[in-house]
Structure 1
Amino acid sequence: MFADAHNDTLTAAFFKNEGLYENLLQFDFKRAKQVDLKLQYMAIWQDTRRKDIDFMENIFTILDLLNKYDVNNVGISKIIDENKLNILVIVEDISFINDIFDVEILKEKGVKGATLSWNHKNKLCGGAYEDEALSSFGKEILKRLLEMNFIVDLAHASQRTFYDVVKIINSPFIVSHSNCYALCKHPRNLTDDQIKIVGSFNGLIGISFYSPFLSESSAKLEDIAKHIAHISQLIGHKHVCLGSDFDGADQFADGINGVEDLPKIKEVLSRFGFTDEEIFDILYNNLFSFTYEFLK
C-alpha cells in the first residue's frame, strides 16, 4: 500500500480541463488504485500574487468536481475508508483569505490542511525564496487553523517563518514535499536543525521526487532513498513519508514518471537495507497514522 503527502493534480486538472479518473497527467485515480495507493493529499494551488482570480470560487468549483468521484474526501467524512481511495485536500498558500471566517468556510467545504505560503512572501509570512517572518495576521490565521484542527503544512515556508511557527504551534505538523539540505543545497529543503524540530513535534516530512530537491545533478531513484535514510538516521523512520509533487513539477528522479512508478520506491528502499516493516511505515503507515490523529 502507498500514501502520498502531496500532489498538484487537482489544480492541474482544473486548469487543463482534465478529468481525475483517467487523464494524461502524472496522477489519476485509475492508476492510483492499480498500485494500491490508499491515501493521497491533493493540493489546490493558485498564484496569490495575481489580482484577476476569484480564489474562493475556484476552490469551491474544484471541490465540487472532486466530490463527483467515488473517492472518500476525509475532510468531509472524517474517516479513512479502507475500501476507497482517500483524498485529503490542502490549500497551498492560504494567503488569499481576508479573515479568520474564511478558514471556517474552507473547512465546511472539505478542506483539511493548508500551507501559509508558496515560494514568495505574502501578507501572512515569507516563502522559500523570500525569508520574511510570520506577520501578525499570519499569527492570527495560524491560530485559527489550529483551533479548527487543520493540518499545518510548512512546505514552502521561509526559515524565519518556520521558526516563528514552531514557537506557536501546539500540535504535530507536516512538511509535505521538502527534502534534506545536507544532501542537496536547495532553498526548499530542510536543514538538519529543522528536521530535528519536526521530529520533536512528532511531525512528518514528505520526500519529493523533484530532481532539483534530490540532487545537484540529475537525480536517480537511489537519491530518494538517500534522503529518506538521512531523515531516518536523524529522527527515526517514523517521521518520513512520500511527498511526490506529481503534477506540480516536470523533472523527477530517473525512472519516476507518474503514480504508476511508486512500486519502484519500495524496491530501492529494500536495496538500501530498510526492513519490510520500515518500508510499510514509510510508504503508507506513517502518513496514515499522522492523518488519523487529525480526524478525531
Structure 2
Amino acid sequence: MFADAHNDTLTAAFFKNEGLFENSLQFDFKRAEQVDLKLQYMAIWQDTRQKDIHFMKNISTILDLLNRYDINNVGASKIIDKSKLNILVIVEDISFINDIFDVEILKEKGVKGATLSWNHKNKLCGGAYDEEGLSNFGKEVLKKLLEMNFIIDLSHASQRTFYDVVKIVNSPFIVSHSNCYALCKHPRNLTDDQIKIVRSFNGLIGISFYSPFLCESSAKLEDIAKHIAHISQLIGHKHVCLGSDFDGADNFARGVNGVEDFPKIKHVLESFGFSRDEIFDICYNNLLNFTCRFLK
C-alpha cells in the first residue's frame, strides 16, 4: 500500500480541463487504485501574486469536481475509509484570505490542511526564496488554523518563517514535499536542525521526487532513497514519508514518471537495506498515522 503527502493534480486537472479518474497527467484515480495507493494529499494552488483571481470561488469549483468521484474526502468525512481512495485537500498558499474566518469557510468546504506560503513573500510570511518571517496577520491566521484543527504544512516556508511557526504550533506538523539540505543545497530543502525540530513535534517529512531537490545533477531513484535514509538515520524512519509533488513540477528522478511508478520506490528502499516493516511505514503507515491525529 502507498500514501503520498503531496501532489498538484487537482490544480493541474482544473486548469487543463482534465478529469481525475483517468487523464494524461502524472496522477489519476485509476492508476492510484492499480498500485494500491490508499491516501493522497492533494493541493489546490493558485498564484497569489496575480490579480483578479477568484480564489475562494475556484476552490469551491475544484472541490465540487472532486466530490463527484467515488472517493473519501477526509476533511469532509473526518474518517479514513479503507474501502476507498482517501483524499486530503490542502490549500497551498492560503495568503489570499483577507479574514481569519475564511479558514472556517474552507473547513466547511472540506479543506483539511494549508501552507502559509509558496516560495515567495506574501502578507502572511516569507517563502523559501526570501528571508522574511511571520507577519502579525500570519500569526493570527496560523492560530486560527490550529484552532480549526488544520494540518500545518511548512513546505515552501522560509527558514525564518519555519522557526517563527514552531514557536506557536502546539501540534504535529508536516513538511510535505521538502528534502535534505545536507544532501542537496536547495533553498526548498530542510537543514538537519529543522529535521530534528520536526521530530521534536512528532511531525513528518515527505520526500519529493523532483530532481533539483534530490541532487545537483540529474536525479535517479537511488537519490530518493538517499534522502529517506538520511532522515531515517537522523531522526528515525517513523518521521519520513513520500511527497511526490506529481503534477507540480516537470523534472523528476529518472524512472519516476507518475503514480504508476510508486512500486519502484519500495524496490529501491529494499536495495538500501530497509526492512519490510520499515518500508511499509515509509510508503504508507507513517502518513496514515499522522493523518489520523487530525480526524475531528
Q: Taking structure 1 as the reference length, what is the TM-score of the superposition?
A: 1.00
CA distance in 1, matches of 2:73, 2:131: 34
Match of 1:266 in 2: 266
1:66 equivalent in structure 2: 66
Equivalent AA in structure 1 for residue 151 of structure 2:
I
**Partner Cα separation in structure 1 for residue 27 and residue 6 of structure 2:** 11
SS at match of 1:58: helix
**Are residue 152 (structure 1) and residue 135 (structure 2) matched?**
no
TM-score (norm. length: structure 2): 1.00
Counterpart in 1 of 2:135?
135
Which amino acid in structure 2 is aligned with residue 204 of structure 1? Answer: L
- Taking the aligned partners of 2:50 and 2:87, their CA distance within structure 1 comes to 28
Task: Tell me, yes or no, if structure 1 residue 196 matches structure 2 residue 191.
Answer: no
Residue 88 of structure 2: SS of its match in structure 1?
A: strand
Q: Does 1:26 align with 2:18?
A: no
Match of 2:6 in 1: 6
Point out where structure 1 has 5 or more consecutive residues left out of the alignment. none
- 1:111 matched to 2:115? The reply is no
Moved over 4 A (4+): none
- SS of 1:39 mapped into structure 2: strand
CA distance in 2: counterparts of 1:294 and 1:24, whole angstroms: 32
Q: Counterpart of 2:255?
A: 255
For 1:174, the aligned partner's letter is I
Amino acid in structure 1 at the alignment position of 2:211: S
Q: Hey, what does 1:169 align to over in structure 2?
A: 169
Q: Secondary structure at the match of 1:199?
A: helix
SS of equivalent residue, structure 1 residue 189: coil
Q: Counterpart of 1:179 in structure 2: which amino acid?
A: N
Secondary structure in 2 aligned to 1:44?
A: strand
Distance 1:54 1:250 in 2: 26
Q: 1: distance between equivalents of 2:191 and 2:152?
A: 19
Q: Which runs of 5+ in 2 are unaligned?
A: none
Query: What's the secondary structure of 1:225's corresponding residue?
Result: helix
Q: How far does residue 69 in structure 1 lie from its aligned partner after superposition?
A: 0.3
Match for residue 98 of structure 1?
98
Identity %: 87
CA shift at 1:130, angstroms? Answer: 1.2
Q: Deviations over 1:56-112 (max 9, x none)?
A: 000000000000000000000000000000000000000000011100000000000
CA deviation after TM superposition for structure 1 residue 52, in Å: 1.6
Which residue is equivalent to 1:223? 223
Q: For residues 276-291 of structure 1, what are the structure 2 equivalents within 5 Å?
A: 276-291=276-291
Residue in 1 aligned with 2:208? 208
Shift of 1:186: 0.2
**CA–CA distance in structure 1, aligned partners of residues 286 and 133 of structure 2:** 30
Alpha-carbon deviations, 1:179-230, whole Å to 9, x = none? Answer: 0000000000000000000000000000000000000010000000000000
Per-residue deviation, residues 130-167 of structure 1 (Å, max 9, x unmatched): 11010000000000000000000000000000000000
Matching residue of 2:246:
246
Rounded to whole Å, the distance in 2 between the matches of 1:80 and 1:264 is 25
Count of residues in Structure 1 that have an aligned counterpart in Structure 2 = 296
Q: Hey, what's the Cα distance between the residues in 1 that align with 2:185 and 2:219? A: 13
In structure 2, the residue matched to 1:232 is 232
SS in structure 1 opposite 2:152?
A: strand
Counterparts of 1:171 and 1:63 in 2: how far apart (Å)?
26
Q: What do the CA deviations read for 1:209-268 (whole angstroms, capped 9, x no partner)?
A: 000000001000000000000000110000000000000011100100000000000000
Q: In structure 2, what is the Cα distance between the partners aligned to 1:158 and 1:131?
A: 6
- SS of 2:140's partner is helix
Per the alignment, residue 43 of structure 1 pairs with 43
Q: Distance in 1 between matches of 2:130 and 2:56?
A: 25
The code of the aligned residue for 1:170 comes to N
3-state secondary structure, aligned to 2:13: helix
- Three-state SS of the structure 2 residue aligned to 1:40 is strand
